[in-house]
């Protein structure tokens, strides 16, 4: 039951911050399953992205990467970066509410 609620919440949690820290860059935080860190098309903020599952930022599920590509396609040509906040590791039964709480607190 928890996993379904967590997945539903992940779909909805996309935060957009313009002019963050006096920068002209659009920074988008995605709370999800991670990101394909080797994809050259995806621009993510390495120093700001964070993994709360202790499995690394790499997306083993694919959902976080798909959401990242939707945002990438929408913002093509603009100066942006994605802050990936990984709170779901994609292994059934391994996700914890504390991951989501920690991820949201981080933002």
Q: What pLDDT, in 10s, does the model give residues 44-66?
A: 888 889 999 989 999 888 888 88
At residue 49, the pLDDT reads 92
pLDDT for 71 beyond 80? yes
pLDDT for 5 beyond 60? no
At residue 11, the pLDDT reads 40
Contact 87/30 with Cβ under 8 angstroms?
Answer: no
Binning pLDDT at 50, 70 and 90, where does residue 92 land?
A: low
In three-state form (DSSP H/G/I as H, E/B as E, the rest C), the secondary structure along 54-97 is CCCCECCCCHHHHHHHHHHHHCCCCCEEEEEEECCCCCCCCCCH
Half-sphere exposure of 99 (CA within 13 A, CB side): 26
Contact 44/82 with Cβ under 8 angstroms?
Answer: yes
Instruction: State the DSSP H helix or E strand holding residue 49, giving kind and residue range, or none if neither.
Output: none
d(CA 34, CA 11): 13
Tokens found for residue 6 = 């967590």
């Amino acid at each position: 039951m928890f996993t379904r609620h967590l997945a539903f919440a992940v779909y909805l949690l996309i935060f957009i911050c313009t002019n963050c820290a006096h920068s002209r860059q659009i920074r988008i935080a995605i709370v999800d399953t991670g990101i394909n860190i080797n994809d050259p098309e995806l621009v993510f903020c390495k120093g700001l992205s964070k993994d709360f599952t202790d499995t690394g930022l790499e997306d083993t599920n694919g959902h976080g990467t798909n959401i990242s590509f939707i945002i990438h396609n929408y913002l093509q040509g603009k100066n942006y970066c994605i802050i990936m906040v990984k709170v779901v590791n994609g292994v059934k039964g391994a996700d914890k509410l504390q991951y989501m709480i920690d991820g949201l607190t981080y933002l």
